[in-house]
Amino acid sequence: MSGSEFQLIEWLRARVGRDPRVPVGIGDDAAVIAPSAGAAGLVAVDMLMEGVHFTLPPATPRDVGRKALAVNLSDIAAMAGVPTLAVVAVALPRARGYEFAQELHRGLHELAREFDVALAGGDTNVWDGGLVVAVTVFGEATARGPVLRGGARPGDWILVTGALGGSLAGKHLSFVPRVREALRLHEAAGLNAMIDLSDGLATDLHRVLDESKVGAVLRAEAIPVSDAARAAADGRTPLEHALEDGEDFELLFTLAEEDARRLLASPPIELPLAHIGEITTGSGCELIDTDGKRRALPRAGWEHAF
């Protein structure tokens, strides 16, 4: 089936229901939104590009639509925020046709429904290049305030959710953004600093340390290694995968020791929580290997170079 931009927008408009947070949505020049009074607003944008962040196949257009929103929800989760609205800008490859565009939006809308995010609008373009999707998501901090990268304090314990590494085997397309977990954790304990692990534990932990002007010690044996990281037989150890692989989309956070002990004694979430180390004075990160030797942990991981 072929179609036009106009047809697609009419289809989108019929699919996206009305929402009190968006008094005027798809169909006008700009959306009118109704933010809650008093809450700190959050906004994040992330772009996914064919050939850089995914290839088609193995990813389906539905996967890409879902992931384009999921990475943004993960950023709101990392602030311990509630996502509320999203807008989406797409550059659609002409050759892939109309149903491809519908599938992309279906993937995005399904996840939006799952997380009660209203779709306020977007921009649709068709070209002869690859698929590009940029989602902007809006959210609100809770009464406890947003959790920043810069709030870690010496003595804090460092915790992570879930298991790390090997995401490329599949999780990078199907991960569940840890929005609910972040809210429950922050409600239960008052977190000092948090980041979502998108570029690898080693890299993302250094971002927290730099912003907070502190150092850290990690224990190798405490780092939760995923089954996918153990299964990857490519010459790198499972621990290296867990430290360096990107796109885990788990949460790393720090909090006072007594709060961490309480949290671990009665976890407010079902996902596993691992205590992987502590925040120290100074800078940089040390890793205590399984044989007890200490070494500096470089900020290895995924970074776009140009």
Cα gap 9→15, rounded to integer Å: 10
Minimum CB–partner distance for residue 168 and Mg ion (Å): 34
28 near ligand ADP (CB under 6 A): yes
Residue with smaller CB distance to Mg ion, 27 or 155: 27
9 near ligand ADP (CB under 6 A): yes
| Tokens found for residue 204 | 């993302």
Stretch of residues binding Mg ion (CB under 5 A), selected from 76-84, 97-105, 117-125, 222-230? 117-125
Residue with smaller CB distance to Mg ion, 123 or 257: 123
* 94 burial via Cβ count (<10 Å: 0-12, 13-18, 19+): exposed
What does the H/E/C string look like for 101-130?
HHHHHHHHHHHHHHCCCEEEEEEEEEECCC
- Quick one: which of 99, 110, 116, 123 contacts Mg ion (CB under 5 A)? 123
> Which of ligand ADP, Mg ion, none does residue 29 bind (CB under 5 to 8 Å by kind)?
ligand ADP
- Quick one: which of 85, 90, 189, 225 contacts ligand ADP (CB under 6 A)? 90
Stretch of residues binding Mg ion (CB under 5 A), selected from 119-127, 131-139, 224-232, 251-259? 119-127
Contact track, Mg ion, 64-103, x by CB under 5 A? ----------------------------------------
Minimum CB–partner distance for residue 31 and Mg ion (Å): 11
Minimum CB–partner distance for residue 282 and Mg ion (Å): 49
Cα gap 96→6, rounded to integer Å: 17
Alpha helices in the chain (DSSP H): 5-15, 61-78, 97-114, 171-174, 179-189, 201-212, 227-231, 238-244, 257-265
Residue with smaller CB distance to ligand ADP, 88 or 225: 88
CB 196 within 8 A of CB 203: no
DSSP letter assigned to residue 144: T
Cα gap 35→132, rounded to integer Å: 29
Residue with smaller CB distance to ligand ADP, 130 or 150: 130
| Tokens found for residue 99 | 């149903």
> Helix (H) and strand (E) counts for the chain?
9, 11
Stretch of residues binding Mg ion (CB under 5 A), selected from 95-103, 123-131, 173-181, 227-235? 123-131
Site for ligand ADP in 106-125 (CB under 6 A): 119, 121-124
Q: Which residues bind ligand ADP (CB under 6 A)?
A: 9, 12, 26-29, 88, 90, 119, 121-124
